[in-house]
Structures are given as structure tokens and as C-alpha cells.
Amino acid sequence: MSIDLSQFIPSFLEESFEGLELMESSLLNLEAGDNETIHSIFRAAHSIKGGAGTFGFNKVTEFTHLVETLLDEMRDGRRDIVQSDVEILLDSVDCMRLLIESARDEEDCQDEKITQTSALLAKTLGNDSQSDKSIVDNEATDADIAENGQDKKHWQIQFIPEHQLVQTGNDPLLLFNALADFGQVEVQANIDNLPPLTDMNAEELYLHWQLSLISDCSEDEIKEIFEWVEDECELIISLKTNENTQTNNTPKNQRSSAENLADDNLNSSVGSAPENNQNNDLTENKKAVQSSALDKKVISTEKSPAKKSEVGSIRVGVDKVDSLINLVGELVITQSMLSELGNDFDLTKVERLTAGLEQLLQNTKELQESVMRIRMLPISFAFNRFPRLIHDLSKKTGKSIELIIKGEQTELDKTVMEQIGDPLVHLVRNAADHGIETADVRLKNGKPETGTITLDAYHQGGNIVIEINDDGGGINRQAVLEKAIEKGIVEPNATLTDSQVFDLLFEPGFSTAKEVSDISGRGVGMDVVKRNIQSLGGRIQVESEQGKGSTFRVHLPLTLAILDGQLVRVGSEVYIIPLIAIVESLQIQSKFINRVSGDLVLYRLREDNVPVLPIYQLFNLPADNKEVNNALLVVVEADGQKVGLMVDDLLAQQQVVIKSLKDNYQQVDGISGATILGDGSVSMILDIPGMINIALEMAQKNQKMLEQETV
């Protein structure tokens, strides 16, 4: 019986990529240097190596082995941590990623970078030995074998596994396949130990194998393949010097069961008819092995067309899963309560029944919300790649750049996150390449030598806003305009506002960089960036001041996003104010109220005068309390403007799932969306900037009416 290991490959890949990310970020921090970091990098590399070995991703294993060796020396203090080594390791991480990706896609990775890096690694390690050679040569090995058979060694391997080998998830077939990557393998199965059918346990392995391998690999490399099973088998490796002693005369009851598989020759027949009872079982065994290999092929063909589509898995925080489990637990309790109630039901229990049903409703609702929360990921997933990017860019451009990341915990829908990654990379690259000036220019302009790029993410009025800010030279308005005129996008004597000029950057084929670098400047990007963002239903804004820097602001909708909200009541309606917008909530004291310019009410909040906006007035609602004195005031801030919203009552604070009003209705001024409360009713989420706009419009209208009256 063989366990189909391919089912574990996705989780291996996911773990590996996570490990690589960890290695990368740790390596970037390593520059400061401490032992624990090296240990964690080493552990990540080690588990990637181990996993890759298990799944037969030999190139990954070999490459990682070199990395691990280097890390091991660092860990033991045999080697000092120097910048050049860290750079090599960072490159290695990239190579490992490439290798794992190509293993995933079942392609052959031919990237030169891998050959170079592995050579570099080997050189750093200072051993000119086989490992170096085998890695570099590895890609060619398979093809070369036929011609260069002479200088290959002829290994004889006797592999006698214990009966329970397959129960631990090891598959001899994978080992043989791994061997086949070294060179030509012949496999003969020995069925001497096969018990009669009646005594056979389907989950045990009774076969052992005699393998012959023609390859230039070393004994250690062969042993490494069997590393994971060495405790569970007897392994005899010997070197045959005489080429001609190959055993072609297979004994009658020995059948080359795995041979075909090793050569991936799946067409070979299942074998001649069974000759005796024992062979019957063997054939079965063999069939199983073969079919599993076939399965794998089928899977791989199925996978390849789907490769491009973004059907992935989500790694979910334990807290979210825990809350789901809690909710399911509650659901089960409610269910058992209800079914107990139903056992002998009479009218006296109606009250308990309604209470129980209410609870069930609540549970289901919460469960639904929690499931939706699973899709939300903190934006740090998208931001994580930027430290490395900046590190590389600053090395490449020779500029010294510091990256500041804020608002990493802002949650964003997974689909949005996946699609916003590339546009963000582009914007950050632009900031580093075009935005930040070289150190001497910066010093000349009286700025600190190190440039700063700030990434920030926050929720604003039902949108998520991602800001990419640099303190570089800013956008040269004149240059942009000239270029646009030169390209014929703008009429020569047109007058444009700053934002119109900056929007020109997103025209196709527009680049103001005087020199085209390999980082950016070909002008094939910004229009794509804009298109990508627009396809997500978002928009991008540019602000720039010559000599001070530029800010790119990406607004993205969060159709599924969750926000922390403060529930407030106005009349009979319940509204939700995003918690992030709230400065404070207070009860109005009449002595702090000032009336200015007619009927505008200002509230003195310490040093600030905060205009009071009664929600009932803005939304045209009946309210309990229309008097400003003693009313409750929620002070909110948007776009740097503080206003006080007058409400009737403050209710609970809770997380709410934002649902779009636009789907079935339309965008409503002052409302960023709706949500469904625990009791199933709908509640509107207030859009603070939108409400300020309404107030402004109303004020303007009133003034006009007054003017007309006076005329």
C-alpha cells in the first residue's frame, strides 16, 4: 500500500513559502546580528530541505543543503556574519523560491541565477568538492548520462525496509524517483519475504529491493535520499567497478516492479499474467504503486491549466478559528437545548422555545459573520515583501533608503490583497527610483542623507486607503507638462491644475525619467497600475510638492471589510460610526456652547471649537432630543476636520461587516455602507467626510436662501 504523498505537497509548498518569507525577513534583520535569528533562519532552511527531500524535489534539497551548510557554519560561530554572505543568502532565498515554484509547476527550472548562486555558495563554503559540481551539473545530468556513461559509477543499493515503513508516510517509489534524478536506475523487487495471502496485512510492506544506479553522485548523496527512512530500513550501498556485471537475468519470482516507474515509463504493461498465488499479490501491489503514479500524472495534467487561476488557500489566524469553534460550540448547545425542549413539548414551554430560537438566530448570524471574517487578512501580508524590495533597490541604486510601515493590521479582503500587490510594488519602486534623490543631492538640498519611504494603510469612509509617501524630489510639474505636450496628450496652451497634471502620469506610455533604468522608467507601468486599481473599483490620487516629496494614495473599496463601530441611536434609527473616526464622546455642557454666524453651534472642546452637526437635521429624521443642551456628542475627525455629531443615545461597540448599498441600490451621501446587526436588522454605517460635505452643502443652500430673502 502506498500513501499518495502528492496530497501533502500543497501544504509543503505553503510552509516552504512561509519559511522563505521568514528567512528573508530574518536575514534583513540579521544585519543587526543576533544568534536567535540565525537559528530561526537555519530551522526554516532545514525544514524546507527535509520536506523537499520527502517529496522528491531534489534540486530544492540539494540547493538548500548548501544554504544550510553555510548557515550552520554561521550558527556555530565558525564563520562571521558579513554583509556579503547575507547578500548571497538573500539571493539563495530567491533561488529556493524559484526552485520550489518550478517544482510546484512540475517544470524544469533553468534559471541561470540558480547555477550562479549555487556556485557562489559553494565558493563561499570553500569546498571545491563534489557537492558544488553536482549542483551545477545537476541540470545536465539526466541528458549526459547516456553519453558519459563511462565515468559514472555503478552503485549497487540494497534497500530492505521494515514492514511498517509505508505506515509512516514514506513511499519507496518516491525514493526511487529521487534516485532516478541522479542517473539511470534499475530496480528489482524481491518478494522472497512475501507471506501467503491469508497472512498478509494490506498496510505492511513485504518487498525489498535491489537497485543499481549509474551516476556520478557520491555515496553521501545516495544516503541523503534515504535519510528519512534510515531508521526503518537496512541499507547496503556498494560500488561496482565492473560495468558488465549488471544483472539482467532476473529470477523468475523477482519482478522489476518499480523499475518502470523510476523511468516514468507508465505505458509498460502491468506485467505478464500472475504465475502463482504469491505473484498475484505482487501484481496487486504493483498495480497500486503504478496507479498512484498514474494518479500523480493525472493530477499534474489537471493542475497545469488551473495554474494561472487564483484558487488558493487561506492561512487563517488561530484566533479567528477559535472564535469559529466557540460559535459552533454554542450552536451545538442551542441545538441540544431545542431538541430537548421538543421531546415533550407543551404550551407552558413556548417562552423557552422562543428564547431558544432567538439564541439560534443569534448563533447562526455570528457564525456567518465569523466565516466572512476569515477572508479578511491584515495588510501586512502585502507589505511584508517591501523591506526586501527596498533593501535590494537601495543597494542597486546606491541610495540610502529607510522604509517605514504603518497600519499593518488594517484588514483587507484576500482577493483585493492579492491583486493590489503588484501595483503597490510598482509604486514603491517608483518612489525609490524616481522619488528619492541620491545622497549628495539630498545633502545639497539640506535633507537628511537617508531617504524615507512611508507605507501606510487605514480605513476611511468605507474605503481602505494605502499611502505610499516619499520625501524625495517630488514630481517636476513642468517636466510632466512638457512631456505631455510633446506626446500630444495635452494642448500646448492648456492650463491644468496640479492634480490634472499629475494624472497625466497614468497615461499609457508616459515616463519622465531621463534615463531608463532596469528598475523603472519605461513608462509601461503607471497606466497598468491605474487600470489594476480601477478594476478593483478603487482610485489613485497623487499629491506632490517639488523638493519635498510625493504621496500616492490608493483608495480601495472594502466590500467585505469589517470595521469596529460605535452604535448610536437617532430617533428610531441605529447608525454605526466607525470607531477609528471617533475622537471622543461626551455630554454637552451648556457653558461650552457658542453660537456664531447666525445659527452655527460651536462646542468648545479644550482649545478647539468643534461645529455641532445634529444627525437628525442632516438626515431629515425625527429625533427624541433636538435641544443642544445636555445632548450627547460624538466628536469625529475626518480629513483633519473635527466635527461633533449629535446623537440621542450611545449603544454598544461591535465589529460589523460592511455591506455595499451600491449592489442593489446606489451610493448614498453620508453613508458608506450598511451592515446587519445581531438582531437581523439593517443599520447604516456613517461616512464622516460625506456627512461633512452634506453639512457644507446645506449651509451653502441656507445662505443662498437667506440672500434671496434679503433681496
Interface residues toward another protein, by CB under 8 A: 368, 573, 618-621, 659-661, 663-666, 668-671, 674, 676, 680-684, 694, 697-698, 701
CA–CA dist 47, 451 (Å, integer): 37
Judged by CB, which is closer to another protein: 58, or 363?
363
Q: Are 207 and 284 in contact, with CB atoms under 8 Å apart? A: no
Nearest Cα to Cα of residue 141 among 188, 173, 185, 187: 185
In the complex, the smallest distance separating the C-beta of residue 579 from another protein, rounded to whole angstroms, is 20
In the complex, the smallest distance separating the C-beta of residue 573 from another protein, rounded to whole angstroms, is 6
Paired residues of 153 in beta bridges: 215
In the complex, the smallest distance separating the C-beta of residue 668 from another protein, rounded to whole angstroms, is 6
Burial class of 511 by CB neighbour count within 10 A (0 to 12, 13 to 18, 19+)? middle
Q: What letter does residue 108 receive in the DSSP assignment?
A: -
Judged by CB, which is closer to another protein: 122, or 674?
674
Hey, what's the cell of 372? 466572512
Nearest Cα to Cα of residue 87 among 4, 31, 6: 31
Nearest Cα to Cα of residue 69 among 119, 117, 113, 122: 122
Cβ-Cβ contacts under 8 Å for 698 (sequence gap 6 or more): 617, 618
Q: Are 17 and 100 in contact, with CB atoms under 8 Å apart? A: yes
Judged by CB, which is closer to another protein: 175, or 623?
623
In the complex, the smallest distance separating the C-beta of residue 674 from another protein, rounded to whole angstroms, is 5
Judged by CB, which is closer to another protein: 365, or 406?
365
Please, what sign has the CA dihedral across residues 12, 13, 14, 20? positive
Judged by CB, which is closer to another protein: 430, or 683?
683
In the complex, the smallest distance separating the C-beta of residue 656 from another protein, rounded to whole angstroms, is 12
Judged by CB, which is closer to another protein: 241, or 681?
681
Q: Which residue is associated with the grid cell 565492473? A: 242
Cα 30 to chain centroid distance, Å, stands at 23
SS3 annotation, 413-454: EHHHHHHHHHHHHHHHHHHHHHHCCCHHHHHHCCCCCCEEEE
Judged by CB, which is closer to another protein: 542, or 695?
695
In the complex, the smallest distance separating the C-beta of residue 503 from another protein, rounded to whole angstroms, is 26
In the complex, the smallest distance separating the C-beta of residue 620 from another protein, rounded to whole angstroms, is 6
Hey, what's the cell of 51? 520536506
Judged by CB, which is closer to another protein: 253, or 660?
660
In the complex, the smallest distance separating the C-beta of residue 91 from another protein, rounded to whole angstroms, is 45
In the complex, the smallest distance separating the C-beta of residue 641 from another protein, rounded to whole angstroms, is 20
In the complex, the smallest distance separating the C-beta of residue 619 from another protein, rounded to whole angstroms, is 3
Judged by CB, which is closer to another protein: 52, or 692?
692
Burial class of 470 by CB neighbour count within 10 A (0 to 12, 13 to 18, 19+)? buried
Instruction: Give the pairing type, strands 401-405 and 233-240.
Output: unpaired
Judged by CB, which is closer to another protein: 95, or 567?
567
